[in-house]
Structure 1
Amino acid sequence: MDDIRSTSDLLVATDQRHLIHPLHHAADHANPKLYVSGHGAMLRTADGREYIDGLSSLWNVNIGHGRRELAAAAASQMETLAYASAYAGFTNEPAIRLAERIVGLAYDNMAAVYFTTAGAEANESAFKFARYHWKRLGQPNKVKIVSRRYGYHGVTLAAMSATSLPNYHKMFGPLVPEFLQVAPPYPYRWPGNDDPGIAAADAVEQAILAEGADTVAAIIAEPVIGSGGVIVPPPTYFPRLREICDRHHVLLIADEVITGFGRTGAWFGLGHWNTKPDLMSFAKGVTSGYLPLGGVVISRHMQDVLLDAPADEKFMHAATYSGHPVCCAVGLANIDIIDREGMVDRAQIQGDRFRANLQTLLSLPDVGEVRGIGMLAAVELVTDKSAKTPAKGLGARIVAEAANRGLILRLRAAADGPPASGDTLCLAPPLPTPEATLDRIVQIIADAIQAVT
C-alpha cells in the first residue's frame, strides 16, 4: 500500500508540474482524484476508493465503464487499418457504416454525416455548414448565429461565442462577431406568461426580426440545456421555434452532444417534441467516451445544395481525423450495445423512477426543485423554501461532501444560471446503472445536504 501511495503521490506531483487541465486552476487541482479503473457506474482511484459516477464522467459514458466489446472493436480495427485519410477521394468502411447507422437513427429528414472529434468541433462545423448553405443559395449576408442564454456549445472560439455562460468568456473575449444570445431560453420559473414555451420562442423571433432575417443563418439550441442546469423545455417551445425558423428561412441546429444516443429516453432529444432540425451536432455518447468522436448530420435539402456545388464553391472544411476508422468502429460497437441491450427504453423507465426518488429530496428545507428527463436530472438548492430564495455557495460544499461519501456530481453554480435560480446539482448516471446504485445516489445526496446544512 505504501508503494502504491508513493507512486500516486509522484504521479500527482508530476501532473501538477506538467499537465494543464480543462478549466484549470491550481487551487482546484491541489488534491486531484487519480482514476485508475472503471466498471459499470463505478470509478476507482489509486488509493483504492470507489465512487459512483453520477455524471457519466462528462455526460458521455452512456453504456458505462469497462465494456470490453469497445476495446475489442478498437483493437481489431487498429490491427486492420489504424488510420487513413477520409478526405474527398478516400474513404473507409467503418466511417461509411457509422454514417449510415446514425442517419437511420436520426430524424427522418436527415441525410448525411460529417465526422469530427468532439462536440465543440461539431458545432464549429455546423456554423460553417450554415454559412456555406446560404452562400451557395446566393444569400451571403445570412451569417449570424443565434443561441440561447445559459446554453453550452463548447469553448473553442466560435463555439464559446455561442455558449452563454459568462465564466467561459471573461478571460478570452472579445467574442466572435455575428453571434448573439437570446435570454432567457424559457422562463420555467418566471411568472407572467400563460405559455412560457411560446413566449420564449417568440423572444427568439424578436431577435431575428431585430437583426434582420436576411442576416441570420441559424439558431443553435440544446434540446435540454445541460451544463446550464438540466433545463427541460415546455412542450410548446421547439414546435414553435421550428415554425419561426421556417417562416424566416433560418436553419435550426440541434446541439445533441449531451442529449444524443439514448440519454433522454429517446435516441435523440428533439424527438420528444416531434421537431426536426436542419442540422444535428453530436459527440459524447456516440462512443460513450471510449474514443473521441463527434459530428454533424445535415438534412436532405442541405445535402442537395452541397452536392450541387460547382468546383469553385466546394466545401472547403476539413479535419485530419474526420472519419477516423478506429473511432468509427468503436462508435458502431457502442450503438450496437445501446440497441441490443435496450438502453434507450431503459433510460426512460429507470429515469422516471430515478427522478421520482429524487423528488423525495423536496422534503428537505434546502431543496427547491427537482427536474429532468430520461437519465438527466437536476436538484436545485434554496436557502429559504418559503421565499424560494436561491442558494448560492451551498452547492460546492454539498458536491464535496457527496464525494467524501462516494458520489461524483457536477455543480451548476447560481452565477451561471437564469435569474432567480440557485446552485444546482446535475446528474446523468450511465444508462444501465442498477436500481440499487440509483437509490444510493439519492441517499448520498440527502445525507450530504443534511451534513452540510
Structure 2
Amino acid sequence: MKDLFELDKKHFIHPTSSIKQQQEQGAKSIMKEGDGIYLTDTEGKTYIDAMSSLWNVNIGHGRKELAEAAKQQMETLAFSSAFSTFSNEPAILLAEKIAELSPDGLNAVFFTSGGSESNDSAFKLIRHYWKIKGEPERNKIIALKKGYHGVATASTSATGIPQFWEMADLTVPGFVHAESPYERGTKPSIDSIREVIEREGREQIAAFIAEPIQGAGGVLVPPEDYFKEVRQLCDDYGILFVADEVITGFGRTGKMFGLEHSGVVPDMMTFAKGVTSGYIPLGGVVVSDAIHNVLKEKSSGTLFHGFTYSGHPTAAAVALKNIDIIEREGLVANSQAMGDELLKGFRQIKTELNIVGDVRMTGLLGAMELVEDPETNKRFSPELQVAPKVIEALHERGVVCRAVTYDSTDIICFAPPLIINKAQVHMIVAKLHDAVLSVQKQLGDRVSS
C-alpha cells in the first residue's frame, strides 16, 4: 500500500499551509470519509467538523442526493460551454432560483468557479459598468481592513489582511482600505470610509465592498445599523455597494444571506461556498436590475470576461439540489436555533475560564477570543500563540476548528454544518471547555486571576 503521507510531502503543495510544517511533520490528517457533521481520517479517527471544512459544507458531508444529482446531470450533459450565448437548462434554472432568493431587485447572475473568481468578476463588471456609463475615471474600490475577498489578483488586493499581499508582494492599483469598525473597542462609525472617499476623490470611487460578517478576519460582527449607514453613504456619493456573501450566504447566519440582518439591499452580491455546500466548485455575482439594464443598453460587442466553467451544468444541478435541501429541511431556521444554543455554551465557558474574552455567534458563524485579561481585553504576547494551542487540543479531542492570529489576536472560529443538532452542539461545547481548560493550565501564572 502506498504511503500517502510521504506522497503528500513529495507531490502536494497545500493552500494556506506551512510548507515547512508539512515537510517536517507531514499532513495533519488525511481525510477519507465524511458523514453529517463528522469526518474520518485514514487512520480511523473521527472528528467533528466544527468549521464545515472551509465555512462551506452547509448541508453536511455524505449527502447522496447531491451525488445523485451530479450523476444524473453528467449522464445527460456533463459540460457545455456558456460562451458566445450558448446556454444550458441547469444554469438557467439556478440563475432563476438565486434571483428568487436574493434581495429585491437583484435578478441577474454571472457564474464563476468560486469566491475569489466571484469578487474578481465583480470588480471587472463594476469598472466596465462605469466605463460604458461614460465615467471611466471611477475605477477605485474601497474595502475594509481585516476583510477577506479571495486570493486572485484583484481579490487579493481588496483583501485587508497584509499577509496575503506580502506572500508574493502582489497588489494592483485601485484598491484602498478603510478602517474596520467590527472589532471590540473601535468606534462604530463610517467616517473612515468617508475620509477615504474625500482623500481619493469622490469622482474616482467605483464601489465599496464588505462582508456582512468578516470571516477570515476573525468572525468580526459589525455594529448595529452600520450597513444602513454604509448604504446611505454610498447613495450620497453615487457609489456601488457590494456585499461579499461568499461565507455568509445560503443560511450560514440564520438568514439566507447575511446582509438580511441589516435590512439593506446591495447593488451587487458575490457568493460561492454554501451554494453547493462544497460538493463541487461554483460561485457567482448577482447584480441589480439597474446595473443589468446599463449592461444591456450600453454594452457593445463581446463582454470579454468569463471562465471555462462559468455556468457549468453539473455544478448548477448540484447547487439546485443543495438549495432544495436547505429549504426543505429548514436549515436556515436550524442555523439560527443551533447557533443560539452554541452561544449559550460559549457564554458558560466564559464564566468558568479565565482566558476567554468576547464570544459571539450569528446563526452558525461564531468565534471565541482568548485573552490574558477578559476585563481589559488585554491580549497575550504574540509569541505564546494561544489560539493554535487550543486548536491542537481540540484536534486531539476530535474537533476540527480554525484559529485566527492576525495582529496579535487569538481567535477560535466556528462554523459547523447547518444540520447540527442540540446533542452535537453540547458535544462541541464540552470538548471546547476541556481544550481551553487544558491550555489555561499550561499557561499557569501568565493568566490574570
Question: Which TM-score tier does this pair reach, normalised by the shorter chain?
Answer: over 0.9
- Cα distance change, pair 89–26 in 1 and its aligned pair in 2 (3 A): closer
> What residue in structure 2 maps to residue 108 of structure 1?
104
Amino acid at match of 2:158: A
Amino acid at match of 2:291: M
Please give the alpha-carbon distance, in whole angstroms, between the structure 2 residues aligned to 1:310 and 1:164: 32
Please give the alpha-carbon distance, in whole angstroms, between the structure 1 residues aligned to 2:112 and 2:377: 43
SS of 2:372's equivalent in the other structure is strand
- 2:391 pairs with 1:399: yes
SS of 1:142's equivalent in the other structure is coil
Tell me the CA shift for residue 187 of structure 1: 4.4
- 2:322 pairs with 1:329: no
Please give the alpha-carbon distance, in whole angstroms, between the structure 2 residues aligned to 1:17 and 1:331: 34
Please give the alpha-carbon distance, in whole angstroms, between the structure 1 residues aligned to 2:299 and 2:398: 58
Tell me the CA shift for residue 12 of structure 1: 1.4
Tell me the CA shift for residue 310 of structure 1: 4.5
Amino acid at match of 1:99: A
SS of 1:225's equivalent in the other structure is coil
> What residue in structure 1 maps to residue 428 of structure 2?
441
SS of 1:232's equivalent in the other structure is coil
> What residue in structure 2 maps to residue 38 of structure 1?
34
Tell me the CA shift for residue 92 of structure 1: 0.2
Tell me the CA shift for residue 428 of structure 1: 0.2
Match of 2:236 among 244, 247, 266: 247
Amino acid at match of 1:82: A
Quote the sequence identity (%): 45
Give runs of ≥4 in structure 1 deviating > 4 Å.
Answer: none
Q: TM-score, with normalisation over the residues of structure 1?
A: 0.93
Tell me the CA shift for residue 404 of structure 1: 0.3
Is 1:306–1:315's contact at 8 Å kept on the other side of the alignment?
Answer: no
SS of 1:218's equivalent in the other structure is strand
Amino acid at match of 2:176: L
Please give the alpha-carbon distance, in whole angstroms, between the structure 2 residues aligned to 1:204 and 1:270: 18
> What residue in structure 2 maps to residue 63 of structure 1?
59
Matches for 1:47-86 after TM superposition, within 5 Å: 47-86=43-82
Please give the alpha-carbon distance, in whole angstroms, between the structure 2 residues aligned to 1:169 and 1:239: 30
Please give the alpha-carbon distance, in whole angstroms, between the structure 2 residues aligned to 1:186 and 1:445: 25
The number of aligned residues is 433
Amino acid at match of 1:130: I
**Cα RMSD (Å):** 1.2
SS of 1:390's equivalent in the other structure is coil
SS of 1:115's equivalent in the other structure is strand
Is 2:132–2:299's contact at 8 Å kept on the other side of the alignment?
Answer: no
> What residue in structure 2 maps to residue 14 of structure 1?
7
Amino acid at match of 2:198: L
Please give the alpha-carbon distance, in whole angstroms, between the structure 1 residues aligned to 2:57 and 2:183: 30
Amino acid at match of 2:324: D
1:303-354 residue CA offsets vs partner (Å, 9 max, x unmatched): 0011113424x42211111000000000000000000000011111111111
Tell me the CA shift for residue 385 of structure 1: 2.7
Tell me the CA shift for residue 24 of structure 1: 3.5
Amino acid at match of 1:305: V
- 2:393 pairs with 1:424: no
Is 1:150–1:185's contact at 8 Å kept on the other side of the alignment?
Answer: no
SS of 1:311's equivalent in the other structure is coil
Amino acid at match of 1:375: L
1:83-121 residue CA offsets vs partner (Å, 9 max, x unmatched): 100113210000000000000000011010000000000
> What residue in structure 2 maps to residue 316 of structure 1?
304
Please give the alpha-carbon distance, in whole angstroms, between the structure 1 residues aligned to 2:298 and 2:95: 21
Matches for 1:245-324 after TM superposition, within 5 Å: 245-312=234-301, 314-324=302-312
Matches for 1:160-309 after TM superposition, within 5 Å: 160-190=156-186, 193=187, 196=188, 199=189, 201-309=190-298
- Cα distance change, pair 126–258 in 1 and its aligned pair in 2 (3 A): same
Is 1:85–1:320's contact at 8 Å kept on the other side of the alignment?
Answer: yes
Moved more, 172-181 or 382-391: 382-391
Please give the alpha-carbon distance, in whole angstroms, between the structure 2 residues aligned to 1:40 and 1:240: 40
Tell me the CA shift for residue 42 of structure 1: 0.1
Q: TM-score, with normalisation over the residues of structure 2?
A: 0.94
Please give the alpha-carbon distance, in whole angstroms, between the structure 1 residues aligned to 2:427 and 2:150: 31
Is 1:263–1:376's contact at 8 Å kept on the other side of the alignment?
Answer: yes
- 2:91 pairs with 1:95: yes
Tell me the CA shift for residue 414 of structure 1: 4.1
Amino acid at match of 1:240: E
Is 2:6–2:26's contact at 8 Å kept on the other side of the alignment?
Answer: no
- 2:439 pairs with 1:452: yes
SS of 1:265's equivalent in the other structure is coil
Please give the alpha-carbon distance, in whole angstroms, between the structure 2 residues aligned to 1:73 and 1:423: 41
Amino acid at match of 1:400: E
Question: Unpaired segments of 5 or more residues in structure 2?
Answer: 441-449
Question: Unpaired segments of 5 or more residues in structure 1?
Answer: 1-5, 416-420
Amino acid at match of 1:23: T
Please give the alpha-carbon distance, in whole angstroms, between the structure 1 residues aligned to 2:156 and 2:218: 17
> What residue in structure 2 maps to residue 366 of structure 1?
355
Amino acid at match of 2:322: N
SS of 1:377's equivalent in the other structure is strand
Please give the alpha-carbon distance, in whole angstroms, between the structure 1 residues aligned to 2:170 and 2:397: 41
> What residue in structure 2 maps to residue 340 of structure 1?
328
Amino acid at match of 1:383: E
1:35-68 residue CA offsets vs partner (Å, 9 max, x unmatched): 0000000000000000000100000000000000
> What residue in structure 1 maps to residue 446 of structure 2?
none
- Cα distance change, pair 437–202 in 1 and its aligned pair in 2 (3 A): same
Tell me the CA shift for residue 447 of structure 1: 0.6
Tell me the CA shift for residue 254 of structure 1: 0.4
SS of 1:164's equivalent in the other structure is coil
Moved more, 72-81 or 156-165: 156-165
Moved more, 16-25 or 287-296: 16-25
- Cα distance change, pair 386–303 in 1 and its aligned pair in 2 (3 A): closer
Tell me the CA shift for residue 443 of structure 1: 1.1
SS of 1:111's equivalent in the other structure is strand
> What residue in structure 2 maps to residue 410 of structure 1?
402
SS of 2:84's equivalent in the other structure is coil
Is 1:122–1:294's contact at 8 Å kept on the other side of the alignment?
Answer: yes
Amino acid at match of 1:349: A
- Cα distance change, pair 171–187 in 1 and its aligned pair in 2 (3 A): closer
Match of 2:144 among 145, 148, 158: 148
> What residue in structure 1 maps to residue 445 of structure 2?
none
